[in-house]
Structure 1
Amino acid sequence: MRVGRIAPFLVLASATLLGGWFLQEGVAREENVYNQVRLFQEVVDYVSDQYVEEVDREEVYRSAIDGLLSGLGDPHTSFIAAREYENVRIRTQGDYGGVGLEVLPRDGHVTVMNPIPGGPGARAGIRPGDWFVTIDGTPAEGLDVDAAVELLRGEPGTPVEVEMGRPGLVDPIPFTLERAIIQLRAVPFVQRLEGDIGYVPLQVFQATARDELQAAVDSLRGQGVQRLILDLRGNPGGLLEEGIGVTELFVDDGATVVETRGRGAGQSARYDASTGPTFAGMPVVVLVDGASASASEIVAGALQDHDRAALVGTTTYGKGSVQSLFPLTAGNVLRLTTARWYTPVGRSIDREVGDAAPRADHAALALTGAVVEVEGELDRPAFRSTAGRPLLGGGGIVPDVRVLPDTLTTAETGAVRALYRQGGEFNAALFAYAVSYIQQHPGLALDFEVGAAELAGFRTVLDEREVEVSDGVFADAERYIRYHLEREIAVQAFGEAGGFRHSVRWDRQLSRAVQLISGVQTTRELLAAAREIEGSTALIAEEAAVEAAAEAEGPDPSTDEGSAP
């Protein structure tokens, strides 16, 4: 009886003591926060009132806010002043034009991730990886993405002068862009390749992405297509719901598509497929590259995690963070990173996380003009797909089969960089020659080729337009010039689909995808074929998983040099 009476008393006493301790701890923390706020206000007051030169108090507060946010080391978090936010809101709701460039912060610059095909930026010759140096005379250094976009937008038909930095060049390249209304289809065209293989490029995850993709694949299946190559290269992302919708076309009902993890209320969530797969069983290869970002990575990661597709290309961009807008006093807005994306098996998409692998050992220039980040040995954490297939994590999505695009030699790269110094004039000459060539060849066939005579004619156009290109540069850059001359002619004569069909023979990544998917009847056979390719990511991931397991178990006592015989 005595024990029964004492036990409740001890519990009550412990609760009372702990409650008092927590109460005191809470008061102490509140006092500490109050003291810190008071300390900050005292510093602001002294600086505003006593500094040797007059200081704007509002600017002091703004500098403090900027310092706080920059200290987070997150390029996607920023303070948006009321006037800036209102201007952006008004312009995005009105009839305003742009220059057709998808931009993201990278390495302290507002960097072009993807020029929209046919847009002013792409037409002028701006490439992925270029960064803004000036926009209409305003230095771009220190600008956040919203401020840069605000300067680039304007009335359709009006010009905007920009200077662009480019890897490998010391001096910026000047361009004059004419703003235009940018209208972009998610799926610009479809193409039946050899046999029963279909090809669909998905350029952006806009409001109609799922519907356009479904219609595209349905049309190909009506032509007898049974295997699909889905091209997400250069796709910068877009709407989350469209990324989920596209994934739902291929994975089972209830399968996890993506997960967010954050500390704030409502920031951690899981998004599952809510419909059955429309294209169940169809073997799929997904093409990805360093410009595949955000929703593209969500789709690629989910299909890879669920063993639904084989990925071919290069590691994706690694834009795996979620930003939320918080209204502040006087109409100001805080854009704050509040969560990160994770694939169904828990791989982080974001390159910013601490265990992310370095972006690249070095960069090369592709025949297309794109900058290619060349990864060396993959030192990344190991994961397993839902079926137990080895995968690699660490930020960005590593494809199952890594294939670099056709890259330029050292001599070719130097010559092409010399062409870049001519800015938009070189690309303007390409366009002018292409239009003239098409007019002179009314019966032009898609299999045309540019020979010595055409190259000489283009050289004449460069001279007439006073584009300074030396004979040595022209000779070293001949392969690059020939590729872009043929593509420009094909696009102008036959549209984007024609440009694709004409240049497909140079696409090493697509060629590998066709080779991989040809002849397989099931997704299981496709993934097995991908694993058998020398240097496949699956084999690298398997080795990483074995090493990780060995480290987790610790050293084998039988081989420990310090143990007794």
Structure 2
Amino acid sequence: MRRNTLTAVAVVASAVVVAGWLLQEGVGRTDNAYLRVRVLQEVIDRVESSFVEEVEYDRLHESAIDGLFRDLGDPHSSLIPASSYENLRIRTEGEYGGIGLEVADRNGWVTVVSPIPNTPGARAGIRSGDQFFEIEGVPADTMVTDQAVEMLRGRPGTEVSVRMIRPGVDEPIPFTIERAEIQLRAVPFGVMLEHGIGYVPLQTFQAGSEREITTVLDSLREAEGARSLILDLRGNPGGLLDAGIAVSDLFLDVDLSIVETRGRASGQNETYSAKKPDTYPNLPIVVLVDRGSASASEIVAGALQDHDRAVIVGQRTFGKGSVQTLYRLTGGDVLRLTTARWYTPVGRSIHRDSQRGVETDGQSFGISGELVTPGDVSEHPEFSSMGGRILYGGGGITPDLFVVSETLSAEETEAVGRVFRQASAFNIALFNYAVSYIHDHPELEVGYTLSDEDLDMFFETLRESTAEVDEAAFIAGARFIRYHLEREIALQAWGDSGVFEQSRKYDEELASAVELLRGISTQDDLIEAVEQARQSRKP
């Protein structure tokens, strides 16, 4: 027995010596992944147990992961907690089980911002401004929005009971609502404009976006005689790569390239092309873009511009020329990792280097609050479209026709900045006043204008919600405030289509697109028109 024990000890000792030799000679420290993980864990354990101040163990792991992503220098790579992944899934797939209410925290209550049309919540009679008093018998006054949303969602066909506080009603109103599958729409509406122009806004790129465009556009053409199209991608942050390809495929002939992806892994190197003929071959198209147009929006704009299938009007886009892949991890978390860059059909990269920041020379702010930058192309590389037009790469999609929206003066910009020191209070007051205004003006119609007296009443509403209101700044920023208050009232009264109609008088980009398409019957005529417009705007 003793001999066996000694033999075992000798074997272990020998193994330790050999293993140590292998670590030193055969496997370099930097290549030993197991050792690096052990060292990281030892550091976390020692910090958790011995640091002079108490620290949260889970937060140490999160900090280590955050540091990794910081070193990558890529704002689009991140770890998505399992608790947040469902919201991402809903945004990309566009459906969930629930009652169809957009909610937010207002004055400490979970409040209905707007019911989604044709959903159980809207059909039950729940209105904008209603506040949750109870959900399934649980008091809602201590709930945060995420908790309320989790209780409202559920399997289609099941019921949820709520009690709602409504302005002007003494007692909470009870509702029992049957959940259904909620389809979030990428195309909220479509409308005919003058001169036979169809207008279609696309808010996101999710599964089925191309079908929504087809449904709305076919209706505009067949029922109302649309002869040309304005596709509005302003403020569209993108979404699924496949959806961007599918939307582009609607307007390009079979086998025409849409986008090329290039990455380190062989599976990330791919050229995507149209799979079917142009669905709308005789339809001249203007695409509206701005700094909020990103990712899949830029794929569509770039592909149609490269093939001379559309002209691009507005401002330079965001410049997100990368592709992210989602990887499910242990425990349900999801790794979102940039795995490729993408290029337009003529080889343009429009990716904006996040380290360079945003150009600030000559910038101003539009009446909607967006940053407006000059259309300088001197530092952007030149490319040629398939038809020989000059295009530009680098830092976003450069429009064929730059259009600057209505801008604020320096004095107005400074005043708005002072008002927005109380941004949260301002937004809450905006919503509350809109709900009250609609209640007090049942005869309200699209195209109304708020009076100075209306603004004075809104100022009183704002002052009641916060102790610090700069009256001089409010007066100086009245044009900006009136614009946003009119939009909020229109949103609560008539939804997205009402906001569009109410805001047209401020929309320089839309007006320019309409003017370009006036009397145009072919895409070639439209390209000639945009060139003439560009020449006429040169100093």
Task: Report the TM-score, using the length of structure 1 for normalisation.
Answer: 0.68
Q: Note if 1:413 corresponds to 2:413.
A: yes
Q: Could you say which residue in structure 1 is the equivalent of 2:476?
A: 476
Letter in 1 for 2:284: P
Once residues 145 and 378 of structure 2 are traced to their aligned partners in structure 1, the CA distance between those partners, rounded to angstroms, is 38
Q: What CA distance in whole angstroms lies between the structure 1 residues aligned with 2:88 and 2:290?
A: 32
Against the structure 1 CA distance between its residues 252 and 454, is the aligned structure 2 distance closer, same or farther, given a 3 Å change threshold? Answer: same
Partner of 1:530: 530
Indicate if the aligned counterparts of 1:382 and 1:391 stay in contact, CA closer than 8 A: yes
Corresponding residue of 1:393: 393
Deviation at 1:435, TM superposition (A): 3.1
1:404-439 C-alpha deviation (Å, 9 max, x unpaired): 221211111122122212233323333333333333
Decide whether aligned partners of structure 1 residues 58 and 477 sit closer, same or farther in structure 2, where only a CA change above 3 A counts.
Answer: closer
Q: 1:91, 1:345 → 2: CA distance? A: 32
Q: 2:31 maps to what in 1?
A: 37
The DSSP-based 3-state class of the residue aligned with 1:195 is: helix
What is the one-letter code of the residue matched to 1:502? Q
Task: Kindly indicate whether residue 438 of structure 2 is the aligned counterpart of residue 438 of structure 1.
Answer: yes
Residue number in structure 2 paired with 1:449? 449
Rounded to whole Å, the distance in 2 between the matches of 1:278 and 1:480 is 41
State the alpha-carbon separation in 2 of the partners of residues 531 and 33 from structure 1: 64
One-letter amino acid matched to 1:314: Q
Paired residues for 1:136-285 under 5 Å: 153-156=146-149, 184-222=184-222, 223-285=224-286
Q: Which moved more, 1:309-318 or 1:183-192?
A: 183-192
**Residues 152 and 348 of structure 1: is their aligned pair in 2 closer, same or farther, counting only changes over 3 Å?**
farther
Give the direction of change, closer, same or farther, for the CA distance of 1:184–1:334 in structure 2 (3 Å limit). closer
Separation in 1, partners of 2:395, 2:88? 34
Distance 1:358 1:404 in 2: 17
1:44/1:398 CA distance change after superposition, 3 Å: same
CA contact (8 A) 2:401 2:534 kept: no
Structure 1 residues 407 and 400 mapped into 2: Cα distance closer, same or farther (>3 Å)? same
Query: How far 1:458 sits from its partner (Å)?
Result: 2.7
* Cα deviation digits, residues 458-490 of structure 1 (max 9, x gap): 334334445643431222011112212222233
Q: How many angstroms does 1:454 deviate by?
A: 2.3
Matched residue SS, 2:268: coil
Decide whether aligned partners of structure 1 residues 330 and 247 sit closer, same or farther in structure 2, where only a CA change above 3 A counts: closer
Paired residues in the alignment total 441
CA distance in 1, matches of 2:218, 2:34: 62
C-alpha spacing 1:377/1:192, structure 2 compared with 1 (3 Å): same
State the alpha-carbon separation in 2 of the partners of residues 378 and 425 from structure 1. 42
Give a deviation string over 1:216-269, Cα, whole Å, max 9, x none: 111111212101111000111122222222112111111111110112121100
Structure-2 change in CA distance of 1:492 and 1:48 (3 Å)? closer
Residues 275/118 of structure 1: CA separation in 2 closer, same or farther (3 Å cut): farther
Report deviation, 1:288.
0.4
Which residue of 1 is the match for residue 125 of structure 2?
A: none
- Residue 163 of structure 2 corresponds to none
**Contact in 2 for aligned 1:347/1:395 (Cα 8 Å):** no
Secondary structure at the aligned position of 1:257 is classed as: strand
Instruction: Give the residue type in structure 2 aligned to 1:448.
Output: Y
More displaced stretch, 324-333 vs 456-465: 324-333
Q: 1:198 to 1:64 in 2, by over 3 A?
A: closer
Structure-2 change in CA distance of 1:274 and 1:152 (3 Å):
farther
Residues 93-108 of structure 1: pairs in structure 2 closer than 5 A: none
The letter of the residue matching 2:408 is: L
**Contact 2:85–2:333 (Cα < 8 Å) also in 1:** no
Partners of 1:454 and 1:425 in 2: CA distance: 18
CA distance in 2, matches of 1:449, 1:98: 28
Counterpart CA distance in 2 for 1:236 and 1:46 is: 37
Query: Counterparts of 1:292 and 1:365 in 2: how far apart (Å)?
Result: 17
CA contact (8 A) 1:302 1:344 kept: yes
- Over the aligned positions, Cα root-mean-square deviation in angstroms equals 4.0
Q: Compared with structure 1, are the counterparts of its residues 274 and 377 closer, same or farther at alpha carbon in structure 2 (3 Å cutoff)?
A: closer
Secondary structure of the residue aligned to 1:241 is helix
CA–CA distance in structure 1, aligned partners of residues 399 and 101 of structure 2: 33
Greater mean alpha carbon deviation, residues 424-433 or residues 525-534: 424-433
Tell me the CA shift for residue 442 of structure 1.
2.8
* Alpha-carbon shift at residue 523 of structure 1 (Å): 0.8
Matched, 1:487 2:487: yes
Give the match's secondary structure for 1:275.
coil
- Determine the structure 1 residue equivalent to 2:311: 310
State the secondary structure of the residue aligned to 1:423: helix
- How far does residue 361 in structure 1 lie from its aligned partner after superposition? 3.2
**In the TM superposition, what is the alpha-carbon distance from 1:197 to its structure 2 partner?**
1.1
Paired letter, 1:262: G
Deviations 1:190-235 (A, max 9, x none): 1211121111111111222111111111111121210111100011
Deviations 1:524-544 (A, max 9, x none): 11112212234699x99xxxx
Aligned to 2:294: 293
Contact 1:365–1:413 (8 Å) recurs in 2: yes
Distance in 1 (alpha carbons) for counterparts of 2:303 and 2:387: 13
Query: How many Å separate the matches in 1 of 2:485 and 2:40?
Result: 64
* Closer/same/farther in 2, CA of residues 244 and 100 from structure 1, 3 Å limit: farther
Q: TM-score, normalised by structure 2?
A: 0.71
Q: Report the CA distance between 1:385 and its aligned residue.
A: 1.0
SS state at 1:533 partner: helix
Provide the C-alpha distance between the structure 2 equivalents of 1:525 and 1:407, rounded to a whole number of angstroms: 31
User: Per the alignment, in what secondary structure is the counterpart of residue 290 of structure 1?
Assistant: coil
Equivalence for 1:142: none
Tell me the distance in 2 between the aligned counterparts of 1:431 and 1:67: 39
Q: Could you give the per-residue CA deviations for residues 82-140 of structure 1, whole angstroms, max 9, x where no partner exists?
A: xx447746996886999889xxxxxxxxxxxxxxx9599xx99xxxxxxxxxxxxxxxx
Aligned to 2:371: 371
| Structure 2 residue aligned with 1:132 | none
Give the aligned residue type for 1:532.
Answer: Q
Query: Which string of whole-angstrom CA distances, capped at 9 and with x for unpartnered residues, describes residues 351-397 of structure 1?
Result: 2399x996553543221123334454541111111112110001321
Q: Secondary structure at the match of 2:260?
A: strand
CA contact 2:384–2:390 (8 Å) conserved in 1 = yes
Mind listing any 5+ residue stretches in structure 1 that lack a counterpart?
1-30, 102-116, 125-150, 160-180, 541-565
- How far the C-alpha of 1:492 sits from its partner, in A, is 2.8
Q: 1:410 to 1:119 in 2, by over 3 A?
A: farther
TM-aligned CA distance change 1:286 to 1:198, over 3 Å? same
- What's 2:338 paired with? 337
CA distance in 1, matches of 2:63, 2:357: 33
Contact 1:401 1:536 in 2 (8 A): no
Which deviates further from its counterpart, 453-462 or 292-301?
A: 453-462
Note if contact 1:357-1:395 (Cα within 8 Å) is conserved in structure 2: no
Choose 89-98 or 425-434, whichever is displaced more: 89-98
**Counterpart-to-counterpart distance in 2, 1:89 and 1:447:** 39
* Alpha-carbon distance in structure 2 between the residues aligned to 1:46 and 1:288: 46
Q: 1:78 to 1:246 in 2, by over 3 A?
A: closer
Instruction: Tell me the secondary structure at the aligned position of residue 502 of structure 2.
Output: helix
CA distance in 2, matches of 1:307, 1:263: 31
| Percent identical | 46
Q: Do 2:197 and 2:227's aligned partners in 1 also have CA atoms closer than 8 Å?
A: yes
